[in-house]
Amino acid sequence: MPSMVSWRLRGGAQRVRYRYVHQPNWGKIPVKAPPFAYVRATSLDQVFDLKAQHGDDARILAGGQSLMAMLNLRLDAPELLIDINGLDALKGIDEDGDAVVIGGLTRHVELERSALVATHLPLIAEAMPNIAHPAIRNRGTIGGSIALADPAAELPACVVALDAEIKLVSGAGERTVKAREFFHGLYDTARNDDELVAAVRVPKSPVSRRYFFSEITPRRGDFASAGLAATVEIDGDTMSDLTLVFFGLAGRPILAARTGDAASGAALTGDIDQIIGQVHAVLDEELETQADLHSSAKMKSHLARVLTKRALTQFAAGRS
């Protein structure tokens, strides 16, 4: 009897299918990684030296929530894994003036439980429970999520919405890239192969701003078919500086700048349905969606409208 096995990796949008004619062949499905060497790095200098020696034959192991699945399915076969989990310099959540600095090795669960994040970065705090399942959040890291740049990932959209900066380090030194310039396309970023995401610097959120985060998934914990991270400035009854960042719609987080501008100056005490209609009209012109395994481009455009309506309705109701 024919059978099919399929996986969808939490850290990436790949789907792998194996089809066999008879049930006994289930035992031929590869579920173990190919042989590789392993080094647990004790310093950044050691990481950079190993990357320089092995080049594309080496992979960095942080949370491993995408990498290990890819290895076990034989989608990747590096010669060397460089484990950076012992590098304390890349960990932690700290205040730095008007910003919060998050180390690249900070795990999702630490962000989820952080009082500092809850106080100063409410958008990220709201997003964290939506990331996969507790087992994934216990291991996954913010640096890994940003470096991989999965189009359906929550944190890339959040750092774009909050206008964060991403600190990259390599053997040649360090540099900072604005989050809004970091994500180029499908798994394509401004990060060079020899660079690590060392930290993310996120401006503290002012009390006058409101935040919205939501995603639409086939099941809780699945990849988002569409998601929205949004912020807005509320001055009395007037809305300004609306920031809408969609994810799960195309190859990277989409900052819908023209759509946000269309809502600037709108009075929240007015006809909210009229405001939503005006915003939707601009959104339809600005947004370019891409179909995936689960949703057509047309469906994704519809979901973007649904999420935008939810955000504006929440802002009008005065809830953050």
Same domain, 165 and 146: yes
Is the CA virtual torsion 75, 78, 84, 85 positive or negative? positive
Q: Which of 107, 314, 147, 285 is nearest to 214 (CA)?
A: 314
Rounded to 10 degrees, the C-alpha dihedral 76/81/87/92 comes to 20
Same domain, 96 and 136: yes
Same domain, 221 and 267: yes
Domain containing 252 — which CATH number? 3.30.390.50
Among 157, 174, 203, give the residue marking a domain's end.
Answer: 203
Q: Between the CA of residue 121 and those of 102, 116, 200, 244, what are the distances in Å? A: 11, 8, 12, 16
Among 50, 83, 116, give the residue marking a domain's end.
Answer: 83
The model's pTM? 0.88
Q: Give strand pairing partners of 227.
A: 215, 247
Same domain, 115 and 160: yes
Domain containing 9 — which CATH number? 3.30.43.10
Q: Give the integer Cα–Cα distance in Å for 195 and 175.
A: 10
Same domain, 160 and 135: yes
Domain span at residue 300 reads 209-316
- In the Cβ-directed half-sphere of 155, how many Cα atoms lie within 13 Å? 29
First-last CA distance in the chain: 53
Tens digit of each residue's pLDDT (9 = 90 or more) over 246-259: 999 999 999 999 99
Same domain, 179 and 263: no
Tens digit of each residue's pLDDT (9 = 90 or more) over 178-235: 999 999 999 999 999 999 999 999 999 998 899 999 999 998 889 899 999 999 998 8
Among 83, 102, 135, give the residue marking a domain's end.
Answer: 83
Q: Give the integer Cα–Cα distance in Å for 71 and 80.
A: 12
Domains in the chain, number: 3
